[in-house]
């Protein structure tokens, strides 16, 4: 766990307290919150007949939590259709940093043959759930038939970490059957607290685009180095295709853990001439069934491996065991697999030497009647959804946004809504909710999917302020969610809750605003050349009634483009016009370049104007070089923008 991070007790069960109680009584723990009977197996009585719940010591001699540590081969799927969870567990086993979080205090949880009295048949596991870590306590009674584990098991008969992990996860959702059917991203996120991105390689057309394939390989190598969890799948398009093996040995409707991504050296091998390159991009995957592997080039025992030196084969740990793990070229991977799931463990530690992200996090709710507006297709109601603001303070930064509904996965399985979100670029000083969608630049709208989470990584972004609007596809649907926004610098993330300015109770003499003005400075042309190099670094200041916004500087130009907006709620528009000043950004002192006063008080919408620039004192300096283009929307209805 990160320093100072707390762990919530699931069902208020305290592991240490329960263990001490068992020690005092000299008994083994039995978990009444997840009893060893059919209620914990399924919501359908009798679905798993003949099951006997047994402790590991009743199943084998010398049981262990781990046998020679954790590895992807320790996780083999049983009679449950939870390959998504099994594949994620295979990934988990490959990264100690992650499974030390999920399986805490491993040494003290392990069986100790020299101190048998210390064993009370109680274990604990940690899972990340919607912004916090949750500790789940279980007993070690596991479902068996004929002394064999019914569900997940290890290839080593006396190793039990994967079976106990599955039991703890099943308890989290009510029973084992609730894990039947799911997405890789769910378990990967619950193991790591990371953000998952699912790539559709068919839509990306990677099989025919070598440059994009190279870029994805480099990205996956980097993610593997960063200890990201990754898995792949070939979705089934019908019930008949589910878990059906193809001619090439891959299974549809099935999840594979990705355990290695690397270049294999071909120089000096018989494959150099065949592939005409020094290195061959390759990927290693594992079938959670523990058997059934890829049958194409570089499959186990294929002749291609004989042309690679033994030392290079040893370096990548090549074995030809029937263990479900296999290699294939990245080109074949992109040809035959459809989805790649990458779960990135986002680093937010200020003490880290690696790249850190600043996190904005909000627990929210779509609720009727005023915060459940549906997707943008519902033009009349979309802006009734919750709205969240964040800033991008570095030009060209990127952001990551994840929307995660608080899943209704329960004893009957997953019941997700179709969700997505839209990102808008708004005024630099926006503090209130948006009321006109088309007044703002749409940066990105995600695809709406029936999935627990939706992820977006987008950039480069212009410096400025942005608003994220999460929604369900249909209006009127109610659900809880978690929204996370990551940027490279502090982003001032917060929910926009107020519709318009409210006069403070302590300001008895102050007037309420009577007009709202949205003003966008688009560009200028023909400004005065002020720098020695012949150009300028112009920026704008827009001000009114004590408030102002400042655009970024445009470098080395007299024809700048800003496309930046400000929003002003005005108490006296007749007496106080909006002032726009253009300045040249210098190291020691900025130089004035021209100004324009917007004095009109008529209501208007998207009124484009090209205006002349005046000097600081119009009576002596009436005209300055250049023209300014602005777009104005103005109304006495404060809920119009």
**Residues assigned a catalytic role:** 83, 254, 287
Short-list 456, 442, 447, CA closest to 485: 456
Type and span of the H or E element at 579: strand 578-584
Rounded-to-integer distance, Cα 567 and Cα 626, Å: 24
Type and span of the H or E element at 334: helix 330-336
Q: At what angle do helices 83-93 and 184-192 cross, to 10 degrees?
A: 40
- What CA–CA distances, in Å, run from 60 to 118, 162, 314? 19, 16, 34
Half-sphere exposure of 394 (CA within 13 A, CB side): 11
Type and span of the H or E element at 581: strand 578-584
- What CA–CA distances, in Å, run from 393 to 521, 566, 578? 19, 16, 25
First-to-last C-alpha distance (Å) of the chain: 45
In the structure encoding, which two tokens stand for residue 575, read together?
């007496």
In the structure encoding, which two tokens stand for residue 637, read together?
């209805």
Short-list 289, 272, 243, CA closest to 90: 289
Encode 84-100: b = buried (16+ Cβ within 10 Å), e = exposed. bbbbbbbbbbbbeebbe
Angle at 559 between CA 539 and CA 556, to 5 degrees: 70
Cross-strand bridge partners of residue 517: 568, 634
Strands 229-233 and 339-344: antiparallel
In the structure encoding, which two tokens stand for residue 271, read together?
């494959």
Short-list 107, 252, 79, CA closest to 166: 79
Q: At what angle do helices 83-93 and 161-173 cross, to 10 degrees?
A: 130
Short-list 261, 257, 266, CA closest to 288: 257
453 phi/psi in degrees, rounded to 5: -140, 155
In the structure encoding, which two tokens stand for residue 581, read together?
């000043």
Question: How many C-beta atoms surround the C-beta of residue 383 within 10 A?
Answer: 17
């Amino acid at each position: 766990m990160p320093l100072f991070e707390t762990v919530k007790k699931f069902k208020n069960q305290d592991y240490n307290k329960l263990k001490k109680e068992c020690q005092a009584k000299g008994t083994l723990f039995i978990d009444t919150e997840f009893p060893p009977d059919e209620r914990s197996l399924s919501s359908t009585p009798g679905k798993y007949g003949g099951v006997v719940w047994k402790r590991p010591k009743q199943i084998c001699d010398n049981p262990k939590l781990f046998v020679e540590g954790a590895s992807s081969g320790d996780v083999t799927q049983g009679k449950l259709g939870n390959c998504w969870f099994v594949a994620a567990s295979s990934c988990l086993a490959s990264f100690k940093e992650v499974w030390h979080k999920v399986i805490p205090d491993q040494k003290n949880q392990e069986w100790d043959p020299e101190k048998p009295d210390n064993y009370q048949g109680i274990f604990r596991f940690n899972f990340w759930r919607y912004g916090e870590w949750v500790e789940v306590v279980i007993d070690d009674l596991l479902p068996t038939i004929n002394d064999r584990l019914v569900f997940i098991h290890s290839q080593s008969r006396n190793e039990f970490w994967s079976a106990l992990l599955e039991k703890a996860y099943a308890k989290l959702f009510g029973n084992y059957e609730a894990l039947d059917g799911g997405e890789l991203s769910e378990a990967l996120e619950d193991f790591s607290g990371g953000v998952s991105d699912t790539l559709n390689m068919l839509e990306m057309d990677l099989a025919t685009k070598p440059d994009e394939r190279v870029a994805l390989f480099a990205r996956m190598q980097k993610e593997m180095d960063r200890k990201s969890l990754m898995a792949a799948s070939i979705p089934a398009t019908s019930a008949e295709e589910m878990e059906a093996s193809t001619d090439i040995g891959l299974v549809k409707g099935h999840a594979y853990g990705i355990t290695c991504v690397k270049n294999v050296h071909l120089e000096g091998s018989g494959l150099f001439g065949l592939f005409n390159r020094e290195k061959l991009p390759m990927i290693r995957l594992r079938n959670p069934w523990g058997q059934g592997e890829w049958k194409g080039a570089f499959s186990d025992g294929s002749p291609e491996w004989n042309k690679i030196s033994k030392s290079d084969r040893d370096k990548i740990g090549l074995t030809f065991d029937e263990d479900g793990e296999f290699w294939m070229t990245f080109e074949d991977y992109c040809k035959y697999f459809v989805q790649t799931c990458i779960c990135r463990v986002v680093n937010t530690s200020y003490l880290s030497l690696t790249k850190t992200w600043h996190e904005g996090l909000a627990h929210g709710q779509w609720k009727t009647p005023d915060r459940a507006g549906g997707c943008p297709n519902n033009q009349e109601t979309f802006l009734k959804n919750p709205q969240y603001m964040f800033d991008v303070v570095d030009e060209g930064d990127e952001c990551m946004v994840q929307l995660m509904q608080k899943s209704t996965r329960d004893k009957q399985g997953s019941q997700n809504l179709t969700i997505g979100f839209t990102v808008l670029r708004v005024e630099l000083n926006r503090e209130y909710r948006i009321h006109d969608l088309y007044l703002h630049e749409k940066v990105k709208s995600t695809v709406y999917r029936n999935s627990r989470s939706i992820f977006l990584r987008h950039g480069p972004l212009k410096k400025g302020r942005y608003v994220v609007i999460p929604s369900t596809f249909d209006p009127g649907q109610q659900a809880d969610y978690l929204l996370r926004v990551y940027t490279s610098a502090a982003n001032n993330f917060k929910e926009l809750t107020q519709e318009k300015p409210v006069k403070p109770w302590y300001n008895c003499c102050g007037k309420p605003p009577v007009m709202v003005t949205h003003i966008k400075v688009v560009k200028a042309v023909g400004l005065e050349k002020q720098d020695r190099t012949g150009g300028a670094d112009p920026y704008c200041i827009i001000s009114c009634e004590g408030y102002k916004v400042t655009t970024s500087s445009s470098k080395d130009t007299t024809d700048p483009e800003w496309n930046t907006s400000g929003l002003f709620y005005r108490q006296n528009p007749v007496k106080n016009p909006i002032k726009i000043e253009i300045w040249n950004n210098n190291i020691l002192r900025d130089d004035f370049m021209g100004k324009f006063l917007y004095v009109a008080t008529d209501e208007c919408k998207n009124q484009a104007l090209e205006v002349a620039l005046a000097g600081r004192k119009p009576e002596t300096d009436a005209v300055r070089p250049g023209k300014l283009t602005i777009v104005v929307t103005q109304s006495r209805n404060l809920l119009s923008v």
